[in-house]
């Protein structure tokens, strides 16, 4: 006869847990976190009701089961979501971070300072404008320069004697 009396109490716990699980699943499709928060509150209420109605042993089993189900469900969602059409809409396929702006072919090339280099500016090298920096010294506009290093995106130049401009391959005319 004791088990018949516990049926309404058990129905409350099972209903709270079922409604909580359903609301958490609906949160995937409903924006706003309301269904998710209500679902978590129902799960917590179901576990608390289990502790209150059936004691510490049953409550602990319910808490362990709900925690395991939440972890398993979240892990499954993390695995499944990126594979769905909706998940792919949120994931970028573009590459990030590689500009590939290095220009090692410029080392040794000669050109002319297109702007005053103090210490950065623009030079005409191989007939194209290139952003450059000097080794530290000011270089006036129109001065012949030679590329001495390419460090990542930095093109380092040094002033050269005026007659040395035409000696480099692909040199630009002043």
At residue 6, the pLDDT reads 63
Q: Looking at the structure, do residues 74 and 125 belong to the same domain, yes or no?
A: no
Please say if the pLDDT value at position 35 is more than 80: yes
Per-residue H/E/C for 67-114: HHHHHHHHHHHHHHHHHCHHHHHHCCCCCCCCCCCCCHHHCCCEEEEC
Residues in the chain: 174
Look up the domain containing 64 and give its range.
2-89
CATH of the domain at 137: 2.40.50.140
Residue 35 belongs to a domain: yes
pLDDT of residue 84: 84
* Any domain includes 122: yes
98 located within any domain? no
Sign of the alpha-carbon torsion through 120, 122, 125, 128: positive
Over residues 119-131, the mean pLDDT reads 91
Of the residues 89, 118, 145, the one at which a domain ends: 89
Q: What is the rounded distance in angstroms from the CA atom of residue 152 to the CA atom of residue 150?
A: 6
3-state secondary structure (DSSP) of residue 13: helix
* Same domain, residue pair 115 and 75: no
Does residue 124 sit within a domain? Answer: yes
Check whether residue 40 and residue 111 sit in a common domain. no
Shared-domain flag, residues 28 and 65: yes
CA pair distance 172, 7, nearest whole angstrom: 93
74 and 35 housed in the same domain: yes
pLDDT tens for each residue of 79-120: 988 888 878 888 877 766 656 667 788 889 999 999 999 889
- Out of 30, 58, 89, a domain closes at 89
Answer yes or no: is pLDDT of 47 > 60: yes
- The residues near 32 (Cβ < 8 Å, ≥ 6 apart) are none
Q: Tell me the percentage of the chain whose pLDDT exceeds 70.
A: 84
């Amino acid at each position: 006869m004791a088990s018949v009396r516990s049926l309404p109490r058990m129905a409350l716990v099972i209903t709270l847990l079922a409604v909580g699980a359903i609301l958490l699943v609906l949160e995937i499709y409903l924006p706003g976190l309301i269904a998710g928060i209500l679902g978590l509150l129902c799960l917590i209420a179901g576990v608390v009701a289990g502790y209150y109605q059936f004691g510490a042993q049953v409550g602990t089993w319910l808490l362990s089961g709900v925690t395991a189900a939440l972890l398993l469900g979240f892990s499954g969602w993390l695995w499944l979501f990126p594979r769905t059409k909706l998940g792919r809409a949120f994931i970028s396929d573009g590459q990030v971070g590689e500009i590939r702006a290095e220009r090692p072919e410029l080392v040794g090339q000669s050109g002319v300072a297109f702007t005053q280099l103090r210490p950065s500016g623009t030079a005409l090298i191989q007939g194209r404008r290139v952003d450059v920096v000097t080794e530290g010294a000011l270089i006036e506009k129109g001065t012949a320069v030679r590329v001495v290093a390419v460090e990542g995106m930095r093109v380092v130049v040094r002033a050269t004697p005026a007659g040395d401009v035409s000696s480099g391959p692909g040199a630009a005319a002043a």
